[in-house]
Amino acid sequence: MIVILAVIIVTLLYYYTTKNYSYWVKKGVKHDPPVPLFGNNFKNYLGLASITEASVELYNRYRGEKVVGFYRGPKPELLIRDPDIIRQILTTDFNSFHRRGIGRDPVKEPLFSNLFHVDGDRWKLLRQRLTPAFTTAKLKAMFPLIVECAEKLQKVAAESASKDVDCDVRDLMARFTTDFIGACGFGIHMDALNDENSLFRVLGRRIFDLRFVTILLIALKDLFPNFEKKLPPVSKKLKDDLTKIFTKVQEERKGQHSGRNDFVDLLLELEKKGKIVGPSIEKTNADGTPVQAELEMDVKIMVAQLFIFFAAGFETSSSATSYTLHQLAYNQNVQEKVYQEIKTVLAKYDNKLSYDAVNEMPYLDMAFKEAMRMFPSLGILHRVCARKYTIPEINLTLDPGVKILIPVAAIQNDEQYFENPSEFIPERFSSDNKMKHNYVYLPFGHGPRACVGERLGQMQSLAGLAAVLHKFKVVPGATSKEILRVSHISNVVQSVKDGLPLRLITRN
C-alpha cells in the first residue's frame, strides 16, 4: 500500500512539474531540455550559479537567436537577446509588460509594498507620487549630507593607508553608502564608517547575506507557486526594525520640516498630500477608459519605500563604486587621468566637493559607467507579460503570465555591441562615441520602470569615488585578484566572493 501511494505521489508530482514543458516546443522557440521539477534552473536552486550567471551562459550558447526559452521550475520564461525586442518590452509596449513579477504578497510582507517590487496600480501610483522627490533642486539640497559622509570616508581611508595593509574597498564603500543612506534616507548619523557593527550596517548584511532557509523559501515559491501563501514571511524582523526607526524620526519631526531635505522629509511631505489618485493601468470601464485607482500613503507604505531606498542604494552603489576602484587599480593609466581631472576641478572649488564640482568630472563619470557596464549590479531585468502579446519580429505570441528575462550582464559584455568587452575603456562613454543601440546598456533599466533614484545613486557614487581618489592612489594589494569570483547564491543583485582587497596609498 505504501509503495502504491509513493508511486501515485511521484506520478502526480512529475505531472505537475512537467505539464508546461511543451510550451516552447509548441511555440518553436529554442531552449535547453528541462529537468523534471527544476526546469532549466537546477544550478540556481542548488546555489551553484546565480540567475545572472545562468542567463549569461544561456545567452552565449544561443548566439544568432533573438529569444531563448527557459523554465524556472514549472513556469515558462523567455530570455530576450535582441535589443529591438528589449526596447518594445521596456518602453514601446510597456503597458503589456508593466509588471516585474518578483515581489511577494504585500499584505503578508508589507516591506514589499515598495516601488521596486509592487506591480500594477500600486506601482503606477507610487511612481507618480515619488518621481518629484528626485528633482535637480532636491538632489542639490541633499548634497551637503553626502559631503559629510565623503569627508568621513577620507578619514577612514587615511587610517587604512597609514597601516600599509590591504583594505577591503567593497566593505569600505558599503560603510560609506550605509552612512549616506542613514543621513539622506533616515536623517540619522549611523557612523557605519567607524563602527562596522552599527545598526544600519547590520541591517545591510541581513538583507543581502542570504541564509539557507531564505534560499530554500525562494526556491519553494518558484517550484510550487500555489503554496506561496502558506510559506512564512522572511522579512518580519527587518520590517519591525525599520518601522521602529521611521516612527521615531516621524515623531521627532511631527508638524515641522526638519530642514535636512532627506528622504524622510520628502515622504512626510508626500503624506500631507493625502491619498494618491490616478488612472488605472490594470482596469478599464465599460467604455474603455481607465478606472480611477487610489492608494493611501500610510506608515506601512512609507516604511516600504525606506526599505527599498536602503536596499537598492546600499548594494548597487557600494558594488558599483568598489568595482570601479578595482578596475582603476588594475588600469593605472586610466586612474591617473581620473585623478588629474578630480584635482583640476576641485582646485576651482577650494578643494571641496560640491554638486557642481562633481558635475564637472566627465571622465570620472565615464569610468564609473564603464565599470557598471562590465559588472552591472542588477545582472538581469524581469518583466511579466500582462496580456496576450505578439512579438512582431518573430511572430511569437506570448500568453499572460509568461515571465521575461533581459540578460543585462550578458548584453553589456557582448563583443557585438562593445569591442573588446573584457577591457576597461572609459572612452566608450565619451560624447564622441555613439552607442550601437540605446538598449544594450541597461544598468539602471530603461523606460517607465527605470530606476527612479538613478541620478541620486550616481551623484553619491561619484562623490565617494572623487573623495577617495583625490587623496589616495589605489593599487593591487598582496591579496588582490584581478579576476573576481562571483557569488553563486546572489540573484537579483550580483555580488562577489571574498570582498575586494586593494592597497590605498596616500597622495602627496
pLDDT of residue 272: 83
Q: Where are the alpha helices (DSSP H) in 2-135?
A: 2-18, 23-27, 42-45, 51-61, 83-87, 120-130
pLDDT of residue 235: 65
pLDDT of residue 177: 85
Cβ-count burial 395-422 (b if 16+ within 10 Å, e if not): ebebeeebbbbbbbbbbbbbeebbeeee
- The grid coordinates listed for 140 are 542639490
pLDDT tens, residue by residue, 98-113 = 999 887 778 788 888 9
How would you classify the pairing of strands 403-406 and 472-476?
A: unpaired
Residues 458-461: contacts with CB under 8 Å, at least 24 apart: 458/365, 458/368, 459/139, 459/143, 459/146, 459/355, 459/358, 460/146, 460/177, 460/180, 460/184, 460/313, 460/317, 461/317, 461/320, 461/321, 461/324, 461/368
| pTM (2 d.p.) | 0.89
153, HSE (Cβ side, Cα atoms, 13 Å): 33
CA distances from 284 to 57, 123, 289, 384, 447 (A): 41, 17, 5, 20, 23
pLDDT of residue 262: 74
Rg (CA), the chain: 24
Cβ-count burial 192-221 (b if 16+ within 10 Å, e if not): bbeeeebebbebbeebbebeeeebebbbbe
pLDDT of residue 9: 60
Domain ranges of the chain: 82-506
Residue 149 class from Cβ within 10 Å (0-12 exposed, 13-18 middle, 19+ buried)?
Answer: buried
Residue that is written with C-alpha cell 533614484 in the block: 453
- For the chain (508 residues), the mean pLDDT of every run of 10, in chain order, is 64 65 95 91 87 95 96 93 97 95 81 90 91 83 88 91 91 86 70 56 60 63 64 69 82 68 79 87 86 89 86 82 97 98 96 95 98 95 96 95 96 96 96 88 94 89 96 95 87 83 93
CATH superfamily of 82-506: Cytochrome P450 (1.10.630.10)
pLDDT of residue 450: 93
pLDDT of residue 223: 67
Say whether 451 counts as a known binding-site residue: yes
- The grid coordinates listed for 374 are 562590465
pLDDT of residue 275: 87
